[in-house]
A = this chain, B = another copy of it.
């Protein structure tokens, strides 16, 4: 591993400050090799990190972290920063991958100020730090590094709008790689393009309109220029935007050429650039994309909306085949929901798709713009459920977030067929907005699959027994079956219920069951707090039956293996039965 010779010597950013320029250049190459080493073997964000190597090296060469504070937006481009702050082994040494996360993490290093995983937050967070600095008469530099894709998020605008008004040091580095996660969308990207074309001289300058000083760097992958640029603005006494033009995927040809594919990717063969393993799983995302592909051919009203994540949502084929029915609003979830409401009011049938927790940005829009207005849009949330994922990317809060909003009808399918029936049902009515949440994993086969037509707020009993009723929400209907099987060995023939709706309890059905059931088990693949089980408990408690709610605890977990989480939350059939009997 002599190839990572320099990297191995770096424990702190101060270790690079005396390096001659040639060494720094070699260091950039080692960092690139380490990024490719880790991502090709374990997956991760490739393109964003390859593009920002020189920016990161120059930042740490010129500024003095952690006194000077660098905030990495989204933080999926923090790999070079991590390597420069004592965590290089997590990239060059395969056995250390798991010790270092792919996002900034204060518990890993004092150089990471915040845990960040959602986009467009860096400027506002940095603004708070800058105000704190000024109040305490300190003098350090505050630097927000934000990728241009993140500029389309409203929070980034709010941050820039306020920060442009500061009278003290504030540095925003715009990493402009001509891309969002997908291609750039929206008017602002036209402005960035004009600024690039004119080498920063274009008359109407977005950043200047918000009060910022401005400087443009044509080749952000030229280390010398980057160092000189940062040296010039270090300790500047007012807000400045450094607009840095970089090449996403720089230094790895396949990633330079296929920017979207290599934004985040599974392990790949370095030589050929071929993604290893199967790229298409027959999961819910796949089935939903197929459904939309089919439906658009006969439904002239269907429009698909998404917020910059076509790859994760498997919408690239739809985008290619039906570009006129596909709206990518960029990273702008608030706008996406309001747009869906407008389209629905205007007579179209919008389907807006989001990935997991990213919908959190749009609670107010889901409530006011959409549900209060009874706009019949369909919202699909993919990648939900308990997972071993990163703390910032958990998919367990959407039930509490959405199912308590008046007028928003929320469903969780338990099988592929049910998911497709739900889509049909949601798209045929014009009375209310509908949310369908689908889990990460592919549907499992069920012994007792639900078969009845979807009816508003009606659950289905898939197996009728007695004494104990098990409600298995969405993908947890299979866990309900497994629990019922275990109960059978103990002489209890439990009833199994597919609740279908997460937003409303089918009280008629459940009340009927209270006649010959005195225990109700609710299993939900999400957080118990504010979730479906708590609704069931509220409604059934006055009847004198016992309700046992199982699901995730109200906590943020960070890359805890799924199996451990299931055990922690008593989500194995054995634990469930033990708790209840």
Interface residue ranges, A against B (CB under 8 Å): 106, 113-118, 121, 124-133, 135-136, 152-165, 185-188, 190-191, 203-206, 208-212, 301, 303, 327, 329-330, 332, 334-335, 338-348, 350, 357, 360-361, 363-365, 367-369, 371-373, 391-392, 397, 400-401, 403-407, 527-530, 533-535, 537-538, 540-542, 544, 546-549, 554-556, 579
CB distance from A367 to the nearest CB of B (A): 6
B125 near A341 (CB under 8 angstroms)? Answer: yes
Quick one: which of B126, B161, B392 contacts A342, CB cutoff 8 A?
A: B126
Residue numbers in B under 8 Å from A527 (CB-CB)? 404
- Is the beta-carbon distance between A154 and B334 smaller than 8 angstroms? yes
Residues of chain B with a CB closer than 8 A to A547's CB: 537-538, 541-542
Q: Within the assembled complex, what's the spacing in Å between the Cα atoms of A529 and B536?
A: 10
The 8 A-B pairs with the shortest beta carbon distances in the complex, nearest first, are A128-B342, A154-B154, A132-B346, A164-B187, A187-B211, A124-B338, A404-B530, A158-B335
Contact B157 A185 (CB under 8 A): no
B188 touches A346 (CB 8 A): no
| Least Cβ–Cβ distance between A131 and chain B, in angstroms | 6
B346 touches A128 (CB 8 A): yes
State whether B152 touches A154 (Cβ < 8 A): no
CA of A300 to CA of B449, assembled, Å: 63
Copies of this chain assembled into the complex: 2
A397 proximity list for chain B (CB < 8 A): 367, 404-405
Q: How far is the CB of A120 from chain B (nearest CB, A)?
A: 8
Contacts of A156 in B (CB 8 A): 154
Question: A493 to nearest B CB, angstroms?
Answer: 22
User: Which of B209, B368, B407 makes the CB contact (< 8 A) with A117?
Assistant: B368
Given the interface pairs A203-B203, A343-B132, A407-B556, the reply to whether A330 lies near B161 with Cβ below 8 Å is yes
Chain B residue at minimal CB-CB distance from A541:
B547
By the criterion CB–CB under 8 Å, are A185 and B162 in contact?
yes
15 residue pairs A–B, Cβ–Cβ below 8 Å = A113-B345, A114-B373, A116-B368, A121-B369, A128-B338, A131-B346, A136-B347, A155-B338, A157-B157, A158-B332, A161-B335, A187-B211, A406-B554, A530-B530, A542-B579
| CB <8 Å contact, A161 and B332 | yes
Contacts of A528 in B (CB 8 A): 538
- Which residues in B have their C-beta under 8 angstroms from that of A164? 186-188, 190
Q: Name the distance in Å between A304's Cβ and chain B's nearest Cβ.
A: 12
Q: Which residue of B lies closest to A239 (CB)?
A: B187
Contact of A530 among B160, B335, B367, B400 (CB under 8 A): B400
Q: Name the contact of A347 in the complex, choosing from B132, B347, B357 (C-beta under 8 A).
A: B132
CB pair B348 A131 closer than 8 Å: yes
- With CB as the reference atom, state the residue of chain B lying closest to A369: B121
